[in-house]
């Protein structure tokens, strides 16, 4: 059972932003700068799915997927209420992620997806994965 009423919960959820999240995108941006990586842009709105980071020279699109919103097998915990709504939402997000990845690959881009928990638990490994993707 939720501890707040529906209107309050709706207001709380509406306040969750998809861009500029401190624990993911901003943390990764700082790590990329510290690692000396250049040539990326943030929220590439001219590409399918608006990648969180786009390395145009390497044609690498990078997404940082929130564990809860994208259904991480390790971290996702299904809500106890309104199950049908949340199951459909998660399925929609995952279907959209697959479609965006296909679209970008058809356009000649490589796609790298990082989970939120990867940045939180092993940020150096996440940057290492990016560096490897940029080299290949």
Instruction: Give the helix/strand (H/E) hosting 111.
Output: strand 110-115
Give the orientation angle of helix 123-135 with respect to helix 27-34, to 10 degrees: 60
- pTM exceeds 0.75, yes or no: yes
* Calpha distance 132→39 (Å, rounded): 15
Burial of 61 (0-12, 13-18, 19+ CB in 10 A): buried
Could you give all domains of the chain from N- to C-terminal order, each with its CATH number?
24-135 (3.40.960.10)
Each residue of 1-21: pLDDT tens digit? 568 788 887 787 776 665 556
Q: Is 113:65 a contact under the CB 8 Å cutoff?
A: yes
Each residue of 37-81: pLDDT tens digit? 999 999 899 999 999 999 999 999 999 998 988 999 999 888 888
Q: Which of 70, 51, 57 is nearest to 111 (CA)?
A: 51
């Amino acid at each position: 059972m939720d501890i707040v009423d529906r209107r309050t919960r709706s207001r709380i959820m509406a306040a969750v932003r998809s861009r500029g999240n401190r624990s993911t995108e901003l943390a990764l941006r700082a790590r990329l700068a510290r690692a000396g990586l250049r040539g990326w842009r943030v929220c590439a709105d001219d590409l399918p799915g608006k990648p969180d980071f786009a390395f145009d020279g390497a044609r690498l699109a990078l997404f940082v997927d929130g564990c809860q919103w994208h259904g991480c097998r390790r971290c996702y915990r299904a809500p106890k209420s309104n199950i049908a709504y949340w199951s459909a939402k998660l399925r929609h997000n995952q279907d959209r992620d697959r479609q965006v990845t296909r679209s970008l690959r058809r356009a000649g881009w490589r796609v790298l997806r990082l989970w939120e928990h990867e940045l939180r638990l092993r940020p150096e490994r996440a940057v290492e994965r990016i560096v490897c993707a940029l080299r290949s």
